[in-house]
A and B are shown apart, each in its own frame.
Chain A
């Protein structure tokens, strides 16, 4: 439909208008890349014109060179692929060690764009310097003032369709999850730095292809196409147009861009006003113009295409031909039959002189539930952090079924079959309950291709059915955003998600915190039955002794960073050292 609207412009208006529109449509495609990185995957590129300009300059050079030697035209795809590869590399480099986003990425991309502009000015032999690369021929014999417009429209339609499709795939949901809770997503086994790099590479590709067409449409590429000002405008257009979908960016670039071009010379304060509008949008209207349109469209025509999308996974709910999920992958050579072994060997963790774990020595074998108790500061959650790569060890090591686990990344450890549930329930708040469950199910199961297929949304497993039966709200509230659930429901949801991974080692940190007595009973029931179903080992940190009694007869007491006692609950209760620790007095 977009194609129709856009193609009709030259007929309705004149060729010059179409030419202008074409330029801003190209900016719009670049802005769609910004929307992908920012609105969807949650990181803000402040130097996106770098890729636009790279695409423009390289396409320009190839086209100029091809006038002498037509076979060089085969190099044209490189004008898109090389910037995309560069984008991937930059993102991998910057995101490698993080799981909390900071300003680093934004400022580095800004610095790179400014550097590129400097180089474009300096290397005048290559780029034509300040005056730019001129006399770029028209591509494929198209006339830049008339027929080339349709090529641009084709790009716009293709990019919009591509993004629209991608946003609906499981990968699209994963990007949203990265933006909402990157830390948690890693614990499902997803390499979030690669997910973000993929998004940035695609954004780079979009910008570069837009840049390539820009070069041939304008016939001239100056350093303005690669520098700071254009990068900033791309962010502004995306913000004001709407960053959450592919149409918003187009709307912003075309609407605001064209408007700016007209008003910039007429009204000297237009740009100041634009800055104020940007601040206003950032503070109050994060969904931009597209968001506003959707809200009104939803009110006026509730069932039209303007009403926006339903929660992603509900498309599949309508067609309940579920597929059995493939079995979970195993990242190593350990066979299923080998009993599970977990060993903490004299683990020491010291942070700024404070001892968090002091020679923690704990060996566990075989399936079943083990409870870990101890007073505050005993090191219970810290032992989980050390096990899952969130706390570096000062000394000692941790082994899981023969493999050294200490020092590995969180997502690697998750792929080894270790699942963790957090003390404060941590889910993807802006995704629906069903989306949350799907993501948990895909962890360590879905390969890259399957993440692009709609059928992956229909995966279910026997454990899924069991969990739906145990926690009915997972089905009845499946379309609700996870953030709207009550605290108790979020606890249960996160438990369900952790269990769906069918891990070999299950780490539960206070799974009953904040639950009423009845809910605690429900929760412990599910844990026990699920552990038997999956056949895994579970380590459960708990304060609630009633829950501990229901769950297990193997209890370990931690105190001041080391193991104080192990045994059955009765043993522990009769142990004077343990009682002393809990009720004060001599030790």
Chain B
């Protein structure tokens, strides 16, 4: 098999996997709960900066991941309780409030860490040979982790009692309440998990990307377009959206350049808004 074809395929898989990882948080918060969290990108950034902070203090990266997840979760609770929940029936105000939150988080990061680009070191910086092509180890690890993680998540969501209860409260809130499910607490837990997964994504991606205060913006837009195309409310929608957007980005940027990929994604999303406003596999 041709090594460059394998590399292209791996790049494609990697890109789609990362999109799914990054989009999961917004898929939970917006796709499932209906809260447009404009600060989604900033929670990812916080995860990356957690790794940076841990590195600056000379601790092992494992602590960074823990800090990223726990820190964003801890932040997510008051945000859900005092910013999101009171605005539950006012989507435009939610968008504004979370936009303000995104600003706050960005400026706080700037105040603490500064505006310059920083780097988190990659402890797994070797490469392996796969089917004749050399590919960075860390990326391979990420691909595996993401696929396994999603498989487990899908299993949990579709098979476990807790997953069924979550599906129930999202699909038919009054009935869920009638049978005794505390839907407010469910929504809170789901939101916290959503932002924590964003933090996790940031922590995992940190060694591979530029860490700077504005890094979250692109992730927010990517995640949003993935959901617009794939459909809100389901893991399969997230997967489908990641596939289509990721595929478009990789293919078009190989042909022209990265900006071309950006334009293609934008046009694709607007097209979907026209033709299939609920996305490909919507369930909400």
Contact = CB atoms under 8 A, between A and B. Distances in A.
Interface of A: 42, 44, 46, 93-94, 96-98, 101-104, 106-108, 110-112, 114-115, 118-119, 122, 228, 232, 235-236, 239, 268-269, 271-272, 274-276, 278-279, 282-283
Given A282-B97, A283-B97, A93 B107 contact: no
Contacts of A235: 99
Given A272-B111, A278-B100, A103 B95 contact: yes
B259 A107 contact: no
A282 B83 CA distance: 11
A115 B262 contact: yes
Given A118-B262, A268-B111, A282-B96, A111 B273 contact: no
B13 interface: no
Given A103-B224, A112-B266, A228-B217, A282 B107 contact: no
B270 A93 contact: yes
A256 to B, nearest CB: 13
Contact of A279 (B101, B106, B263, B274): B101
Given A272-B111, A282-B93, 7 more contacts: A97-B273, A101-B92, A107-B220, A108-B266, A111-B225, A112-B266, A118-B259
A98 B266 CA distance: 18
Given A103-B36, A228-B214, A272 B104 contact: yes
A94 B217 CA distance: 21
18 contacts: A93-B274, A98-B277, A110-B221, A111-B221, A111-B262, A114-B218, A115-B259, A115-B262, A115-B266, A228-B214, A272-B107, A275-B103, A275-B104, A278-B100, A279-B100, A279-B104, A282-B93, A282-B97
Contact of B96 (A44, A94, A98, A107): A44
Q: Which secondary structure characterizes the binding site on chain A?
A: helix
A275 B107 contact: yes
A44 B92 CA distance: 9
A269 B277 CA distance: 42
B89 interface: no
A98 B274 CA distance: 9
Interface in B203-217: 214, 217
Interface centre among A93, A278, A282 (most CB of B within 10 A): A282
A96 B272 CA distance: 12
A411 to B, nearest CB: 18
B101 A119 contact: no
Contacts of A236: 103
Closest 4 CB pairs of A and B: A275-B104, A279-B100, A271-B107, A275-B103
B269 interface: yes
B53 to A, nearest CB: 18
Interface centre among B97, B217, B221, B273 (most CB of A within 10 A): B273
Nearest to A46: B99
A287 to B, nearest CB: 14
B273 A104 contact: yes
Nearest to A90: B270
A272 B36 CA distance: 22
B108 interface: yes
A275 B266 contact: no
Interface in B86-120: 91-93, 95-97, 99-101, 103-104, 106-108, 110-111
Contact of A97 (B96, B217, B218, B277): B277
B259 A271 contact: no
A555 B96 CA distance: 49
Contacts of A279: 83, 97, 100-101, 104
Q: Which secondary structure characterizes the binding site on chain B?
A: helix
A283 B111 CA distance: 24
A98 B103 CA distance: 29
B73 interface: no
A235 B218 CA distance: 19
B32 interface: no
B254 to A, nearest CB: 17
Contact of A276 (B92, B95, B104, B217): B104
Contacts of A278: 100, 103-104
B228 interface: yes
B189 to A, nearest CB: 23
Interface centre among A102, A228, A269 (most CB of B within 10 A): A102
A108 B272 CA distance: 13
Contacts of A115: 259, 262-263, 266
Contacts of B217: 110, 114, 228
Nearest to B263: A115
Given A103-B36, A114-B221, A119-B259, A232 B274 contact: no
Given A275-B103, A275-B107, A279-B100, A108 B259 contact: no
Contact of B274 (A97, A102, A111, A272): A97
B256 to A, nearest CB: 12
Contacts of A106: 95
Contacts of B99: 46, 235
Nearest to B262: A115
A114 B259 CA distance: 10
A268 B263 CA distance: 36
Contacts of B111: 268-269, 271-272
Interface centre among B91, B100, B270, B277 (most CB of A within 10 A): B100
Nearest to B114: A268
B100 A282 contact: yes
A101 B277 CA distance: 13
Given A107-B221, A275-B107, A282-B100, A44 B95 contact: yes
Interface in B102-142: 103-104, 106-108, 110-111
Nearest to A98: B277
A242 to B, nearest CB: 15
A263 to B, nearest CB: 13
B264 to A, nearest CB: 11
Contacts of A108: 266, 269-270
Contacts of A112: 266
A569 B83 CA distance: 55
Nearest to A232: B103
Nearest to A103: B36
